[in-house]
């Protein structure tokens, strides 16, 4: 049975998933087979499969060739479930060797390495933070990839502390918007980060100034 079940009988129909009697109009069928279940069970079945990272959803009956496609059951799925299914299908098409995730745990956006050129310092297009595309970790300033890979696990875990110590030694200022470290070589205290955020290099407060030569009203420098 394809699409919604067309049974016009008024007698209740038994759903084998939830083990409850349902009206015929509440049934929804799998493609390429005759099995059908209630709409709520189909929806929950799709959600459970997506949580298991399964994108090719087949009929729950063993050895059955029935299946579901997003467009086929869009009418019974919440929009966020439908969108998540489409995104998972697109992600599945990307070769494992080409995809990785933003190393910042509060982002973890899917990123693609097209392999056209070797890139080290890269910026996540989602969270705008800088990471090493070769080591797949937050940017390890002051240390090259070979040195980083030779660190033991404890040293790698302390890499953020090493970076903070280096920043303190070099007197770098961290952008309060994207957390990227910047260094002032000369000029006034007005600093505009690569993310477009402007701040005072001396005290770090948001810069309300349009002029690079004006004095910061917060620290008077």
Active site residues: 188
| Locus of tokens 């407060």 | 205
Written in H, E and C, the secondary structure of the chain is: CCCECCCCCCCCEEECCCCEEECHHHEEECECCCCEEEHHHHHHHHHHHHHCCCCCEECCCCCCCCEECCCCCHHHCCHHHHHHHHHHHHHHHCCCCCEEECCCCCCCCEEECCCCCCCCEEECCCCCCEEECCCCEECCCCCCHHHHHCCCHHHHHCHHHHHHHHHHHHCCEECCCCCCEECCCCCCCEEECCCCCEEECCCCCECCCCCCCCCCCCCCC
Please name every residue paired with 101 in a beta bridge, in sequence order, or none if there are none.
110
Q: Specify whether the CB–CB gap between 6 and 38 falls below 8 A.
A: no
């Amino acid at each position: 049975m394809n699409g919604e079940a067309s049974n016009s009988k008024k007698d209740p129909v038994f759903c084998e998933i939830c083990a409850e009697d349902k009206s015929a109009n509440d049934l929804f069928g799998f493609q390429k087979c005759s099995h059908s279940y209630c709409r709520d069970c189909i929806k929950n079945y799709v959600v459970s499969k997506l949580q298991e990272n399964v994108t090719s959803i087949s009929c729950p009956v063993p050895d059955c060739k029935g299946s579901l496609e997003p467009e086929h059951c869009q009418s019974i799925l919440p929009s966020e479930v439908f969108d998540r299914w489409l995104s998972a299908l697109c992600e599945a098409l990307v070769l494992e060797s080409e995809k990785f995730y933003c190393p910042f745990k509060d982002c973890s956006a899917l990123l693609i390495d097209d392999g056209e050129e070797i890139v080290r310092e890269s910026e996540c297009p989602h969270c705008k933070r800088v990471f090493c595309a070769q080591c797949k970790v937050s940017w390890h300033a002051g240390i090259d990839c070979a040195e980083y890979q030779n660190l033991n696990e404890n040293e790698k875990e302390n890499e953020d502390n090493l970076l903070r110590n280096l920043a303190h030694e070099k007197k770098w200022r961290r952008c309060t918007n994207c957390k990227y470290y910047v260094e002032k070589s000369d000029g006034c205290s007005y600093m505009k980060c690569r993310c477009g955020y402007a701040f005072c290099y001396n005290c770090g407060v948001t810069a309300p100034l349009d002029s690079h030569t004006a004095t910061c009203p917060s620290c008077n420098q």
